[in-house]
Chains A and B, each alone.
Chain A
Amino acid sequence: MAFETKNLTKNQLVGEVLALKNQGYRLVTMSCVDLGESFDLLYHFDRETQLVHLRLTLPKGEVAPSISGVYFAALLIENETRDHFGVIFDGLVLDFGGNFYLEEEVKKYPFCKVTVGKSETAGEGA
Chain B
Amino acid sequence: MSTIVPFGPQHPVLPEPLHLKLVLEDEIVKEALPTLGYVHRGLETLASIRDMDQMVQIVERVCGICSCIHAHTYCMCVEGMMGIEVPQRADFLRIIWSELHRMHSHMLWLGLLADALGMESLFMHVWRLRERVMDVAEATAGNRVIISVNKIGGVRRNMSPDQLRWIVQVVDELETELDKIKSVLTNDYTVKKRTVGKGVLTYQQAYELGAAGPQLRGSGVAQDMRMTGYSAYKYIDFAPVVEKDGDSWARTMVRFRELYQSIDIVRQLIAKIPDGEIAVKVKGKPSGEIVCRSEQPRGELMYYVKASGDKYLDRVRIRTPTFANVPPLLAMLPGCEMADVTVIALSIDPCISCTER
Contact = CB atoms under 8 A, between A and B. Distances in A.
Contacts of B291: 1, 3, 44, 51, 53
Contacts of A76: 34, 323, 326-327
B40 A101 contact: yes
Interface stretch (A10-18, A25-33, A57-65, A116-124): A25-33
Interface centre among A2, A31, A111, A113 (most CB of B within 10 A): A31
Given A49-B223, A103-B37, A73 B327 contact: yes
A102 interface: yes
B210 A27 contact: yes
A20 interface: no
Nearest to B306: A33
Nearest to B226: A49
A71 B319 CA distance: 16
Contact of B81 (A2, A33, A84): A2
B210 A2 contact: no
Interface in A40-97: 42, 44, 48-49, 51, 53, 71-73, 75-76, 84, 94
B237 interface: no
A103 B292 CA distance: 32
Interface in B20-51: 33-34, 36-37, 40, 42, 44-45, 48
Instruction: Report the contact-size class of chain A (Cβ under 8 Å from the partner).
Output: 20 to 34
B80 A2 contact: yes
Contacts of B42: 84, 110-111
Contact of A49 (B33, B40, B208, B227): B227
A111 B44 CA distance: 8
Contacts of A49: 223, 225, 227-228
Given A49-B223, A111-B42, A28 B300 contact: yes
A2 B290 contact: yes
Interface in B251-308: 288-293, 300, 302, 304, 306
A44 B208 CA distance: 14
A122 B210 CA distance: 29
Contact of B356 (A31, A48, A51, A101): A101
B228 A73 contact: no
Contacts of A31: 304, 315, 317
Nearest to A112: B45
Contacts of A101: 36-37, 40, 356
A48 B301 CA distance: 15
B203 interface: no
B346 to A, nearest CB: 20
Contact of A71 (B44, B210, B315): B210
Contacts of A3: 289-291
A20 B124 CA distance: 47
Nearest to B41: A101
Nearest to B291: A3
Given A3-B289, A111-B44, A28 B223 contact: no
Contacts of B293: 51
A19 B166 CA distance: 53
A72 B228 CA distance: 27
Interface in B310-335: 314-315, 317, 319, 323-324, 326-327, 331
Given A28-B319, A94-B33, A110-B42, 17 more contacts: A2-B290, A3-B290, A26-B207, A28-B324, A29-B302, A42-B304, A44-B291, A49-B225, A53-B291, A71-B210, A73-B210, A76-B34, A84-B42, A101-B36, A101-B37, A111-B42, A113-B48
12 contacts: A1-B291, A1-B292, A2-B289, A26-B208, A31-B315, A32-B317, A44-B304, A44-B319, A53-B291, A72-B209, A84-B45, A110-B42
Interface of A: 1-3, 21, 26-29, 31-34, 42, 44, 48-49, 51, 53, 71-73, 75-76, 84, 94, 99-103, 110-111, 113
Interface of B: 33-34, 36-37, 40, 42, 44-45, 48, 80-81, 207-210, 223, 225, 227-228, 288-293, 300, 302, 304, 306, 314-315, 317, 319, 323-324, 326-327, 331, 356
Give 6 closest A-B pairs by Cβ, nearest first.
A29-B319, A101-B37, A101-B40, A31-B317, A73-B210, A73-B327
